[in-house]
Each structure stands twice: as structure tokens, then as C-alpha cells.
């Protein structure tokens, strides 16, 4: 089965933590800022989105908007 396509989103929060896994307790690996574009891999499911650009990790879906 093929993975769904990646899609661009923009950060809507002043700061958004990128975590190593889809949970608030996971380590922060990077920080993004309002209006930064992120590449979301696959579908947005649950409360988290897996991103690969500009960093690899997971962000809270609530702070993303489609570009």
C-alpha cells in the first residue's frame, strides 16, 4: 500500500515544538515559528502530524493550517 502524498502547511502558533514522537512527553528536537512552512508526511490523523521539512519529528496538528 502506498503512503499518502506529503502536503505543505504553515505554523499558526508563535512557537511550535517539534518532538521526537507524537506525545507531549517526548523530547523536543526543534522549535518552529509562526508562518514557517512545514511538509506533513501522510494524512493528518489524531492530534499529531509527522513532518520532514524543515525538521523531522512530530508537531501538534492544532497549530497548522493548509497553505
Tens digits of residue pLDDT in 4-13? 688 999 999 9
Q: What is the pLDDT of residues 16-47, one digit of tens each?
A: 999 999 999 999 999 999 999 999 998 777 99
Q: What is the pLDDT of residue 1?
A: 61
- For the chain, count helices (H), then strands (E): 0, 7
Strands 37-40 and 7-11: antiparallel
Amino acid at each position: 500500500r502506498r503512503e499518502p502524498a506529503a502536503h505543505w502547511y504553515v505554523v499558526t502558533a508563535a512557537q511550535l515544538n517539534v518532538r521526537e514522537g507524537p506525545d507531549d512527553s517526548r523530547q523536543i528536537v526543534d522549535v518552529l515559528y509562526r508562518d514557517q512552512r512545514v511538509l506533513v508526511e501522510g494524512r493528518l490523523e489524531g492530534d499529531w502530524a509527522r513532518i520532514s521539512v524543515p525538521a523531522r519529528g512530530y508537531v501538534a496538528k492544532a497549530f497548522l493550517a493548509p497553505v
